[in-house]
Amino acid sequence: MLSRQFVRENPETVREALANKGVDVDLDRILAVDEEWRELKQRGDDLRHERNQVSSKIGELKAAGEHEEAEEAIERSQELKSELQEIESRADELEAELEESLLELPQIPHESVPVGEDEDENVEVRREGFDALRELPEAVEPHYDLGERLEILDFERGAKVSGGGFYFAKGDGARLEHALIQFMLELHREQGYHDVFPPLPVNSASMQGTGQLPKFTEDAYRVEGTNEEEYDDDDLWLLPTAEVPVTNLHRDEILLDEDLPLKYQAYSPNFRQEAGEHGTETRGIVRVHQFNKVEMVNFVKPENSYDRLDGLVDEAEEVLRRLELPYRILEMCTGDLGFTQAKKYDIEVWAPADDMEDGPEEGGRWLEVSSVSNFEDFQARRAGIQYREEHHESAEHLHTLNGSGLAVPRIVVAILEYYQNEDGTVTVPEPLRPYMGGTEVIDGHDAVGESKLGEE
């Protein structure tokens, strides 16, 4: 979150950020509440000072035998106490409103972020892997049709068990997901990451610490209750991303300079209702309510965070380089930056099951597999994560960064489509074969039950 002092001293910067990020918050109300709160705090300090003086005078007057004056002082002390209670009560109300309002203010974009209204104004930084494309079938079969034909993806039974937006990965489909997870974890260990296996339910304080609450309440799965009700500190939520528990691993802690940088990775299933994503793709596994992901979270000193951002992008895209999947890097404009980020890059993998008449760079589609973000001290302030250079020095908020390394289902989509062969089989990328018992080709499985009768 933004500090009160920053908002108070830089209202135009905050106003510009609200406009550029497309966030509607009544900043004038926040500033007015802050001003009234500060005036009340000053008035309270003045009243306490006067009351202390009066209290001291009461003893002196009693000792001097000036009882009438002492009674007047006692009466004045009671008046001051009553007035002070009213002021403190009002100040507490304003402070609660101010704290709640500050949670609605987005992070300030870094000065290097391009200004734009939406995703159409994101900036493509570069493309990789198109100089040596493998030979593709004349007509690439979409992953959802291919997956069902090979009996490795089952959408109908997923919907039967859990509803729309859920699926079964079966046989080599399940093995492919497991292989990708293990491959990513091992790769990131090579890059210096420490493993964390987090709890799947997280409390409201954790969700608030990383910025999921209160803004994205409708997109989250609450363990109990409905999203229309007010949430409280005791509520638990199914994690939307491992970013939440891993960032909050050090909530309300002070780290030391020697601890930093900290690099954690965590595999987890993730749960998102994505209530605001009406009209988006529903076929296949591009957009589902439960998906596997490996997440990388970094804690760094402020002066190192933008160098670390570049390093984090490189660490995430190394997954795609080793799998030899074509991809591109996008720099997000202000309107597509997100509530909590100061700067963000998206990594998008290329999936070719689309119109290819104009060539591979014009056909196919791009699937976001990682958002690599620098939050600066935004999350650290919300979660109370600080560090100090030495034990005797004052603490300051560190910077947090994260990036997916990577989102598994969309990599599965890219593999099923890009590594598809003319005979309808799928070549397993070489780095994944050791994790699949040496399997080189996915050629499908026999159907089970009456569903197999149509094949006979």
410 is catalytic: yes
Q: d(Cα 12, Cα 27) in Å, to the nearest integer?
A: 10
C-alpha to C-alpha distances, 210 to 53, 89, 100, 225, 250, nearest whole angstrom: 46, 30, 15, 21, 12
Q: d(Cα 259, Cα 256) in Å, to the nearest integer?
A: 5
Residue 36 near residue 94, CB atoms below 8 Å: yes
Q: d(Cα 123, Cα 133) in Å, to the nearest integer?
A: 24
Q: Which of 206, 371, 373, 404 is catalytic?
A: 371
Q: In sequence order, what DSSP letters do the residues of 110-131 get, joined into one string?
A: PTTSPP-SSGGG-EEEEEESGG
Closest to 360 (Cα-Cα) out of 135, 124, 122: 135
Q: Which of 51, 222, 308, 410 is catalytic?
A: 410
Residue 176 near residue 428, CB atoms below 8 Å: yes
Q: What's the chain's Rg over C-alpha atoms?
A: 28
Q: Which of 50, 318, 368, 396 is catalytic?
A: 368
Positive or negative torsion for Cα 141, 142, 145, 147: positive
What SS3 state is found at 369? strand
Q: d(Cα 1, Cα 241) in Å, to the nearest integer?
A: 19
Closest to 165 (Cα-Cα) out of 331, 330, 14, 290: 290
Q: d(Cα 285, Cα 291) in Å, to the nearest integer?
A: 9
What SS3 state is found at 264? strand
Q: Which of 51, 175, 272, 382 is catalytic?
A: 272
Q: In sequence order, what DSSP letters do the residues of 165-207 get, joined into one string?
A: T--EE-THHHHHHHHHHHHHHHHHHHTTPEE----SEEEHHHH
287 is catalytic: yes
Residue 410 near residue 371, CB atoms below 8 Å: no
365 is catalytic: no
Residue 273 near residue 218, CB atoms below 8 Å: yes
Q: d(Cα 173, Cα 416) in Å, to the nearest integer?
A: 10
Q: d(Cα 150, Cα 170) in Å, to the nearest integer?
A: 10
Q: d(Cα 325, Cα 412) in Å, to the nearest integer?
A: 11
Q: Which of 287, 322, 365, 388 is catalytic?
A: 287
Q: What is the DSSP letter of 107?
A: P
371 is catalytic: yes
**Residues that are catalytic:** 272, 287, 368, 371, 410
